[in-house]
Structure 1
Amino acid sequence: MEFSEDNISRFRISFQNQEKHQEDVAVAFDEEVVTSHQLVVYNDEVNSFDYVIITLMEVCEHSPEQAEQCTLQIHFRGRCGVKSGDFDELVSMRNEICRRGISAEIESYQ
C-alpha cells in the first residue's frame, strides 16, 4: 500500500474514532456496579477431611488438589471461599453441600 497524504488522513480519522469508541466503552464499564458472590464453607468438628474433599470435588467440580487445598484452609482458617460466581449459580451448590451436613453460606462482595 502506498502512503499518500489522503491515506494518512483517513488512517488518522479511523484511529481517532477507535480511540473515542474505546473511551466510551471504558466509561460505561466503570459506571457499572458488579456484585459477585462467593460460596464459603465453614469448619466443623464432625466431617472428615476426606468427606469434605470428596464433596468439593463432586459438588463444585474441584480437582483433587484444589479440594484438598480448600479443605486445609477450612480446617486451619475456619472457612474458605470455595467458588465464586452468580448467586443463582451458587445456590444449588450451597444447598447440596448443606444437605451433606457441611456448613456453607453465600456471601456477596463488590
Structure 2
Amino acid sequence: MQIEVLHIDECPNWEAAGDRVKEALAQLGKTATVEFRLLSTPEEAARVPFAGSPTITADGEDLFPSDGGTPDLACRIYFTPDGVAGLPTVEQLSQAIGHHER
C-alpha cells in the first residue's frame, strides 16, 4: 500500500497528518510507504483526488471520500468525535486504512 499526503504549502496540518498516518499504521501492524506531495497550482490539484489540504490517499484513493475533489488550493476539514478539525484522528485513520484493505 502506498499512502500519500496531498497538501498545499500554507497548510499547517500536513506534517501532523503524516505522523498520524504512521501511528495508525503502527497500531494496525502494517507497513506502507508514506509520501508527501506539494500541490502548487489548481491544475496539479485537479489531476489528483484532492479535497483540500491535507488529503490522505491510499493507492490513489481518498481515505475520506467526499462529494468531490476541488482544484482550490485550500485547507480541508474533517469531522472528528471532538468536532471539526484540520485532520482526522489516529483512530479514524486506522479505520479508514483497514477499510481500504478489504
Task: Normalising by structure 1, report the TM-score.
Answer: 0.27
> Which structure's residues are more often helix, by fraction?
1
The higher relative CO (CA closer than 8 Å, separation ≥ 6) is in 1
**Highest Rg: 1 or 2?**
1
- Larger proportion of strand: 2
